[in-house]
Amino acid sequence: MHPISSRRAEAGKASGTPTRHSGRARRLYTVGNPRKSTTLTVMTALFTLYCLLPLVWLVINATKSQADFVSSFGLAPGREFALWDNIVEVFGYQDGIFSRWLLNTVLYVVVGATVSTFLAALGGYALAKLDFTGKRVFLFVVLGSISVPGIALAIPQFLLFAQLGMTNTPWAILLPSFINPFGLYLMWVFTAEAVPTGLLEAAKIDGAGEFRTFLQIALPLLAPAGVTVLLFSFVSIWNNYFLPLIMLKDPAWYPLTVGISQWNKLGSTAGNGALIQNLVITSSLLTIIPMVVAFLGLQRYWRSGLSLGAVKG
Amino acid sequence: MDLARRFDADPPATASPDAKRPQTATRKHRRTRIALAFIAPFGTLFALVFIVPILYAAYLSLFQQKLIGGDTFVGFANYGKLFRDPQFWDGVGRVFRFTLIQVPIMLIFAMALALALDGMRVHGAKFMRMTIFLPYAVPAIVSTLMWGFLLGVKYGLFGSLNDALGTDLDPFAPGTTLISIGLMVTWAFTGFNMLIFYAALKAVPRELYEAAAIDGANEFQVVRAIKVPALRGSLVVTTIFSIIGTFQMFNEPQILPSMVAGSGVTTFYTPNLYAYHLAFTGSQQGYAAALALVMAAITIAVAYAVQIRGLRNASDQ
């Protein structure tokens, strides 16, 4: 920071406040480190509270027994701390089907996100660094498909997969998740910027084939964008509800989202029968914990990926 | 976003320099074959999950399912029926109204938050930025369950509030359900949009701010002359993504009826919910396919109109 610019900045800003003779003892406000504003902080904090409130509610209520949930105030703890009992009950309910749903979700997410990211990298690399006829048409169709609403697509997908006999199998969830047009776009832009063509030529002169050049030279350079695409796929598959809802009939193949929704229905359709809201709430909490951890741990990749998309947008 | 212009103006599309050198026919042929091998896995699957289903749906939309006699070819009768179907237009009208109110509110909040957090004048900015983004990680089913319980009068805070004040407020009465859904959607996506704006603001060169400070610009002038113009491109992108998102609203109205009685959510509350009920409980696949295609066309048309308008405004500046 240039000292003159910072002092000028402060002079312009602090015209209403008393002049500071003891400037050296005070902190110098600069363009890079301006004075904090209480008003702005309070306003932002209010919105933060709105974002946090349901999550706090979820954590508090996951610690209550069913009896406490029905009888106690929503944001106050129950009479007993039943979190562990609830977790044990979640994993034991209906012969432990929750762990099956968890494994299904992990399968869909890990296979789906990995394959879709790899295919996007492969395609993005070809678009950025290789020549082929029909490239423009291909790009136009794929990028155009980004604006096709996913749900409008899901019903045609279901009708086709039903014809092919693939509904009610994991393939009905996996195959659509392998294609990520936005990921292909990010990979294309990133390859063009981050992978020097000269480096690829050098590898080929050294006798490496096209595929080996991609794997050993380009792929490591694409890692930052790869993590971003991986994250986007991870979230969209983990949170996917509509596609598995229509594709799957057998609860043994459900992901967590559809499973929890079925448990939630159980209480209401059974009338005054089995009320298992404590299980619905605890399983919801268990479902979002891996996502929250992934989000907080990989925050900077979100920003870098989004700025990549934003600059080009 | 401007897809067409994007790939016309692309620097990436011009490939390696030796592509421009004269090549023997066989070499060029070989290169094309290699490139196709790279693109084939994506291309094949893309055809299977995007192109073929749409063509198949277009084909199916020309048939009607009858209890007796099976499928009969009816030409464009499904489309004609759809345009006269008051239930379809009720849903379309609802998502239009919802979009017109919810999307501007959400994007104004997202932009204001991005400006506040980027200005570095807020205490605990990093914590708040992460917290506001966090709801994006929550699946729609979990968010609907949380808000359904939280706002519901039976177990939720509004029940406690009504008991305490003797009032009779119900966030899930037929007249208020859509507002509550707006609260859920805004909760889920403001942080995501904020992060897009925030990333655009971070891409502004710092020297611009220093130059503005030397010129004696005050904070409001900096926001108006530097920051808001920097957000214009992102605003077009976020608007289009938000419109696509709200037009296909499904999860919240599908789950709510199993949580609260008398919420006013019908089987045709949104066009997608209607298509779902037609295809899976009504066994009217042909009609549902026509609905899905018409809805996709409406969405693309609106997104395209926003894009044209957004770009025209941007180039006016």
Say which of B16, B36, B150 has its CB closest to residue A132: B36
Nearest to B155 among A69, A125, A184 (CB): A69
8 A C-beta contact, residue A313 and residue B241: no
Q: Rounded to an integer, what distance in angstroms lies between the CA atom of residue B65 and that of residue B277?
A: 15
CA distance B167 to B161: 8
Q: Which helix (H) or strand (E) holds A4?
A: helix A3-13
Instruction: Note the pLDDT of residue B166.
Output: 82
**Per-domain residue ranges of chain A:** 1-35, 82-312
Minimal-distance CA residue of chain B relative to A31: B210
> What letter does residue A143 receive in the DSSP assignment?
H
Q: Is residue B62 part of a domain?
A: no
Q: Over 60: is that where the pLDDT of B241 sits? A: yes
Fold of A82-312: MetI-like fold (1.10.3720)
For residues A135-145, give the mean pLDDT. Answer: 84
What ipTM was assigned to the predicted interfaces of this complex?
0.83
Q: B309 or B60, which is more confident?
A: B60
Confidence of residue A199 (pLDDT cuts 50, 70, 90): confident
Give domain status of residue B69, yes or no: no
Residues of chain B with C-beta less than 8 angstroms from the C-beta of A138 = 39, 43
Q: Which of residues 134-193 of A touch B (CB under 8 A)?
A: 135-136, 138-153, 155-160, 163, 175-176, 178-179, 181, 184, 188-189, 191-193
Q: What is the pLDDT of residues B77-92, one digit of tens each?
A: 999 999 999 999 999 9
Total structural domains in chain B? Answer: 1
pLDDT band at A307 (very low <50, low <70, confident <90, very high): low
Q: Could you tell me the pLDDT band of residue B164, with boundaries at 50, 70 and 90? A: confident
DSSP string, A251-303: GGG--HHHHHHHHHHHHHHTTTS---HHHHHHHHHHHHHHHHHHHHHTHHHHH
Residues 6+ apart with CB under 8 A from A235: A291, B136, B137
Query: For residue A217, what are the CA distances in angstroms to A125, A208, A237?
Result: 11, 10, 29
Chain A (56-75) residues lying within 8 Å, Cβ to Cβ, of chain B? 57-58, 61, 69-70, 73-75
- Compute the mean pLDDT over every residue in chain A, rounded to the nearest whole number: 82
Q: Are B138 and A56 in contact (CB under 8 A)?
A: no
Residue B175 to chain A, least CA–CA distance (Å): 22
In the predicted model, is pLDDT for residue A299 greater than 80? no
Averaged pLDDT for residues B247-263: 87
User: Which of the given ranges, A62-71, A111-120, A153-162, A221-230, has the highest pLDDT on average?
Assistant: A111-120
Which domain CATH number covers B103? 1.10.3720.10
Asked if residue B8 belongs to a domain, the reply is no
CB contacts of A281 in chain B (<8 Å) are: 145, 149
How large is the average pLDDT for residues B292-301? 89
Where does the pLDDT of residue A12 fall: very low under 50, low under 70, confident under 90, or very high at 90 and above?
very low
Q: Do A51 and B43 touch (CB under 8 A)?
A: no
Residue predicted with more confidence, A105 or B257 = A105
Average pLDDT over residues A80-100: 91
Q: Is A47 on the interface with B (CB under 8 A)?
A: yes
Rounded to the nearest angstrom, the minimum Cα separation between A176 and chain B is: 6
Reported as type and span, the H/E element at residue B64 is: strand B63-66
Please tell me which of the candidates B52, B116, B202 has its beta carbon nearest to residue A44. Answer: B116
Residue B142 has pLDDT above 50, yes or no: yes
The arithmetic mean of pLDDT across residues B18-46, rounded, is 76
Taking an 8 Å cut-off on Cβ atoms, the answer to whether B12 and A192 are in contact is yes
Structure tokens at B69: 């006699």
Inform me whether the C-beta atom of residue B241 falls under 8 Å from chain A C-beta atoms.
no
**pTM (2 d.p.):** 0.83
* Segment B3-8 mean pLDDT: 40
A294:B137 CB<8 A: yes
Query: Could you tell me the residue range of the domain that residue B145 belongs to?
Result: 81-316
Burial code (b: 16+ CB inside 10 Å, e: under 16) for A128-157 equals bbbbbeebeebbebbbebbbbbbbbbbbbb
Pair of tokens at residue A163: 């014809």
pLDDT at B165: 84
The fraction of chain B above a pLDDT of 90, given in percent, is 37
Query: Residue B15: inside a domain, yes or no?
Result: no
Cβ contacts (< 8 Å) between B56 and chain A: which residues? 156, 159-160, 163
